Amino acid sequence: MTREQPLLDIENLTVSFPTRQGVFEAVRGISFTLGRERLGIVGESGSGKSMTGRAILRLIRPPGRITARRLEFSGTDLLQLDEHEMRKIRGQRISMVMQDPKFSLNPVMRIGEQIMEIYRFHTGAGKRAAHARAIEMLEAVSIRDPERVMRAWPHEMSGGMGQRIMIAMMMVTEPDILIADEPTSALDVSVQTQVLSIMDRLVHERGMGLIFISHDLNLVASFCDRVLIMYAGRIVEVCAADRLHEAQHPYTRGLLGSLPRLHEPRRHLEVLKRDPAWRETPSVSGRQ
């Protein structure tokens, strides 16, 4: 792992929403850094993992509030930027891929136009350059006939194609960080492997930082370098991905135990017993 300045340095990040019952904290004071690596964030629904991804891009709608002692991207304090400056970061320097491409692509614009628009918005390049770049990116995500796909409408694409197009779209500006929120859980296994290998290549070849948010422990363990395990808005454990199966925290152990395993048949799956104390223990730091 690199020892240079991290791409992303987060300290004491909190996301809170005022409700009628009082303030609800979806993320409760977590700290971590991201280098040029594949960082996995795992947790169950409601653990705050998706909120963390959105908070980095400041995509939390009011009345939701983001606070942090530090939220730095390559030395820039993201919390100090105004909305206009933030828009330049989003998409150009930090990109995000969501779970379902159907909701992320504009249904009334051809795919090529959408990719080119993003590229031109962020770089100010001409039409021709943008076209060439879009084709190049579609090829990079293993799309066989990029010219045809450029002219296609989003509804003509299958789920796997759509997700690859999303990744191409997010990568066209060569961001430093890609935040992928459950990018493959709507995809079938064969496509899932392809999409993962594309992201893997981008990390290796371009030195990008990847935040991979997922509920799938096996997938994160085999795909990422480092894993943060989140519970109730806090990080309960940080470990190297290949050592995830030796994790210590009872929550992580419980999650692993509750997975059915192909090679270890069991009559009964372990049932996770939630300890209220997990909620209260301070967040583990994921800073390096």
Partner 1 sequence: MSRLVFNDLSVWFGEGASRVDAVRHATFEVPSGASFGLVGESGSGKSTILRALMGLAPDWSGEMIVGEQRLGPKRNRAFYKQVQMVFQDPYASLHPRHSVDQVLSEVLKLHGFRDINRRVQALLDDVGLGPGFRFRYPHQLSGGQRQRVAIARALAPEPSVLLLDEPTSALDVSVQAEVLNLLNDLREEHRLTYLLVSHDLAVVAHMCQSTAVMQNGEIVEMLTVEDMRAMRARHPYTCHLLESASGYNPNAAQAL
Partner 2 sequence: MNRQDISRNPDDPRLGFRAWLLTDTPSSRLHARCVAFYAGWLKLRSNTMAMVGLGILILLVLVAAFAPWLAPHDPLAQNLAGRLQPPLSESHLLGTDSLGRDILSRLIYGSRITLYIVALVALIAPIAGLLVGTIAGYAGGIVDAILMRITDIFLAFPRLVLALAFVAALGAGIENAVLAISITAWPPYARLARAETLTIRNSDYISAIRLQGAGPIRIITRHIWPLCTSSLIVRVTLDMAGVILAAAGLGFLGLGAQPPSPEWGAMIAEGRRFILDSWWVATMPGLAIFTVSLAFNLLGDGLRDVLDPKEGG
Binding site for partner 1 (CB under 8 A): 44-45, 159, 188-190, 192-194, 196-197, 200, 215, 217-219, 221-223, 254-255, 257-263, 265-272
Choose from partner 1, partner 2, none: what does 11 bind? Cβ within 5-8 Å by kind: none
Of residues 235, 187, 180, the one with CA closest to residue 208: 180
- Report the residue number, 79 or 272, with the smaller CB distance to partner 1: 272
**Residue 106, Cβ neighbours under 10 Å: how many?**
12
Q: How far apart are CA 230 and CA 166, in angstroms?
A: 26
- Report the residue number, 61 or 263, with the smaller CB distance to partner 2: 61
Q: Which stretch binds partner 2 (CB under 8 A): 18-26, 28-36, 152-160, 279-287?
A: 18-26
CB of residue 16 vs partner 2: minimum separation in angstroms?
A: 16
**Angle at the Cα of 91 (from 86 to 97), degrees rounded to 5?**
125
Return the residue of 6, 10, 17, 20 that touches partner 2, per CB under 8 A: 20
Q: How far apart are CA 81 and CA 102, in angstroms?
A: 30
Choose from partner 1, partner 2, none: what does 219 bind? Cβ within 5-8 Å by kind: partner 1
Cα 60 to its chain centre, rounded Å, is: 15
- The yes or no reply on residue 103 touching partner 2 (CB under 8 A) is no
Q: To 10 degrees, what angle do helices 111-123 and 159-171 make?
A: 20
Choose from partner 1, partner 2, none: what does 80 bind? Cβ within 5-8 Å by kind: none
**Angle at the Cα of 41 (from 38 to 44), degrees rounded to 5?**
150
Of residues 70, 56, 65, 79, the one with CA closest to residue 10: 70
Choose from partner 2, partner 1, none: what does 188 bind? Cβ within 5-8 Å by kind: partner 1
CB of residue 69 vs partner 1: minimum separation in angstroms?
A: 31
H or E element that contains 214: strand 209-214
Contact residues for partner 2 (CB under 8 A)?
A: 20-22
